[in-house]
Amino acid sequence: MKSGKKELLLLFAILIITLPVTCVIGETTYVDSRNGSDTNPGTKEKPLRTIGQATVLVNSTTEPGPTTIKIAPGIYNIDKCAVFEDKRPFTEKDRLVIEAAILPNDANWKPALMPVILSTEDPRKPDKLGELTETYSVKIKVSHVTIRGLKFLGNPLSNNWHCCVERVGESLDDLLVTQCMFVGNRDTFDIYCATLVTGDRFVVDHCIFYNCHACVVFWDGQEGISGKGCSMRYCIVDGAYISGVWTCQTEEDFEFHHNIVARSEYFWIRKPGDRQKYRLHDCIVTSNRYYSGYGVASGPAGQTGPEVTYEEESVIKEGEVTLVKDKNTRNYLHVVEGTFGSELGAGVITPAVGQRSKLQQVSISEDKRSFVLGKSGEKFVPWGFNYDHDEDGRLLEDYWHCEWNTIEQDFHEMKQLGANVVRIHLQVGKFMKGQNEPNEVSLEQLVRLVSLAERLQLYLDVTGLGCYHKKDVPQWYDKLPQQQRWDVQARFWQAIAQRCASSPAIFCYDLMNEPVVGSGNEQTDWLGPAFAGKHFVQFIALQQNSRERVDIAVQWIKKLSAAIRRYDRRHLITVGLVPWSLERKGLTSGFVPEKIASELDFVSVHIYPEKDKLAEAMETLAGFSVGKPLVIEEMFPLRCSMAELEQFIEGSARFACGWIGFYWGKTPEEYRGFDRISDALMLSWLEFFQKKTRAAGRF
């Protein structure tokens, strides 16, 4: 991953296509039922009063997103369905977000602060008051939408099918409903379908469904649309009059885990003829009348037989789930703490990451030369992979929303290969929407990744502030002077540390990949030269301005470390250094190991030995051994043979106590049979990694 290595361009033909820049308008509309007016502009100071008027504003333009609707605590009467039309080109990154102003994970949140969405729509005709009717609270006709932190009630009409959230249409994609409550009652405010959705990537996350009929319906519509990439996770269903989940031709990649379904008519209903075999894991399904059944539009159609099976892992079917019924408590409708089911972490309050993990925290050994685990003092040797991009050159954030199954599979494969550490590379443009505004969607996905690492017993080397794809670097960020740029970088790390502080799966925070201090007054670009379409080297200062370069490096490390320590005082901090950081003649980075080591918990270096120059590589490595643990954070047989790299690794144990190579989404079996040089190189590396793991138990 070093600039100037033209050989890798020939070996790894990664095609990076620069897309034209699209004008993006970011807007936030505020709604407050108690203090707003629909004649207001919808600003924070002058909010709207109704969700309906917010809908009108969103639908009134064809400009691209992102768009956020912030809804204050209060009761919101929906006398006419709020329809979000397909008029604006939202994207996965620049999406439509409809959310509470105070979210469940805020320290001062309580259920009474949730915006209450109540339908009073009456579609009956005067002469047919007794006929069956349908009402809706919100209809989504556009892709890339998040609904977060709202409380939905039903509609008081009798003989009425009310749906709280509907998305029905062709080619619709990416709807996340998270941290919402759906509270019905068949005798008062009835909810027939809490959510009714067709299309791909419908995700229901950390929601509560209480006394609804059909809670989460993955519909197929009149056109028989199947849904890909759908999931339901960390949800509580209690007292469903029909079923907790209802699938119709939903693809088998459907994720269902960490859910509780209790005291319902059916646990699961599926469309007649549906034979998909779904995988369920880490769930409680108890006290339901029936387990699995068929259903049609009018309702259940009987139980399924032996023709329908589920792949179940850690699914508990006996036990009594007890919910908190006191509306004044923060845990209203959650499982009583410490009782059966509370360990799953289901409900609108997302538990702190690490709450259920068996991983021990990594710390520095007493002799300051290696790593140990927890209070036991057991030696820990970092041995793993950089998970920086896939085989096509896509960065993690480019596909972790739409291809989560790929992420899970890759992490499983790295674990099976013998890794105990995975280094991830987070891009500043994906995690900062503005100078002072972190991207909550990306932070939520990071928490999801940390939870995956905990479940698989893998540690994460979290490397931040990447600008690897120049087209993804925000223009506002690129134009900032040094101090303001550092301020944004500090806010980036505050947001990351705040989300990750409680997880033992965090091995370390790597402040930046290969930072450099400018050495003159002619540097104008914050990024180093591109290598294979990516900018791995980044400047933290463009000019010295009569300052010592190493002093600038120390000042920068101190500022970002302080940002992390504001929220996380436990996890280790390092910086991924280029090998030309030593004080030698020629090119240097300004990050001199012996002069910055006091500000770091351990030293990390990236070394790619050259053919017939192993002694030179070892001499360079020795220069980074400065009284702190030393990790070779990047290595690969790029300019030497695998045999030479193996020899280097064996010899490097005199100085280093951790080694991290590369994994790009394919197993050794998938590389075999191909005659490309790049495939042969990666196969030789992975085979060595497996051999070393088996022979030495990760050293």
Q: Compute CA distances 286 → 196, 234, 239, 688, whole Å.
A: 24, 16, 11, 47
What is the per-residue pLDDT for 22?
A: 30
| Six token digits for residue 408 | 């899970």
What is the per-residue pLDDT for 275?
A: 87
Distance CA 250, CA 253 (A): 8
| 254 alpha carbon, distance to own chain's centre | 17
> pLDDT tens digit string along 161-187?
999 999 998 789 999 999 999 999 999
Q: Specify the higher pLDDT residue, 23 or 583.
A: 583
What is the per-residue pLDDT for 603?
A: 97
What is the per-residue pLDDT for 4?
A: 40
What is the per-residue pLDDT for 306?
A: 94
pLDDT category at 696 given cuts 50, 70, 90 is low
How much of the chain, in percent, has pLDDT values that exceed 70? Answer: 93
Distance CA 602, CA 594 (A): 11
CATH fold, domain 27-121+133-344, is: Pectate Lyase C-like (2.160.20)
What is the per-residue pLDDT for 351?
A: 61
Looking at the DSSP bridge assignments, the partners of residue 634 are: 606
pLDDT exceeds 90 at position 23:
no
Residue 202's SS3 state is strand
- Residue 1's identity, in one-letter code, is M
Distance CA 504, CA 373 (A): 10
The DSSP code sequence of 143-193 is: SSEEEES-EE--B--SSEEEEEEEE-STT-EEEEEES-EEE--TTSSB-SE
pTM for this one?
0.58
Q: Specify the higher pLDDT residue, 47 or 219.
A: 47
The DSSP code sequence of 567-606 is: T-SSSEEEEEE-GGGSS-SS---S--HHHHGGGSSSEEEE
What is the per-residue pLDDT for 560?
A: 97
> pLDDT tens digit string along 467-505?
999 999 999 999 999 999 999 999 999 999 988 988 889
> pLDDT tens digit string along 302-323?
999 999 999 998 899 999 999 9
**Is 374-396+422-696 in CATH node 3.10.129.10?**
no
- Average pLDDT, stretch 521-539? 87
The DSSP code sequence of 407-467 is: HHHHHHHHHHHT-SEEEEEEEHHHHEEETTEE-HHHHHHHHHHHHHHHHHT-EEEEEEEE-
Q: Specify the higher pLDDT residue, 649 or 672.
A: 649
Q: For the chain, first and last CA: distance in Å?
A: 25
The whole-chain average pLDDT of the chain stands at: 90
How much of the chain, in percent, has pLDDT values that exceed 90? Answer: 69
| Six token digits for residue 302 | 């009987």
pLDDT category at 674 given cuts 50, 70, 90 is confident
Q: What angle do CA 609, 612, 618 make, to 5 degrees?
A: 45
Instruction: Identify the H or E element spanning 405.
Output: helix 404-417
pLDDT exceeds 90 at position 611:
yes
Cis peptide bond prior to 66, omega within 30° of 0: yes
> pLDDT tens digit string along 379-399?
999 999 999 988 888 999 999
Residue 657's SS3 state is coil
Every domain of the chain with CATH number 2.160.20.10 lies at 27-121+133-344
pLDDT category at 693 given cuts 50, 70, 90 is confident
- Residue 231's identity, in one-letter code, is S
pLDDT category at 679 given cuts 50, 70, 90 is confident
> pLDDT tens digit string along 58-93?
999 988 879 999 999 999 999 999 999 998 889 887
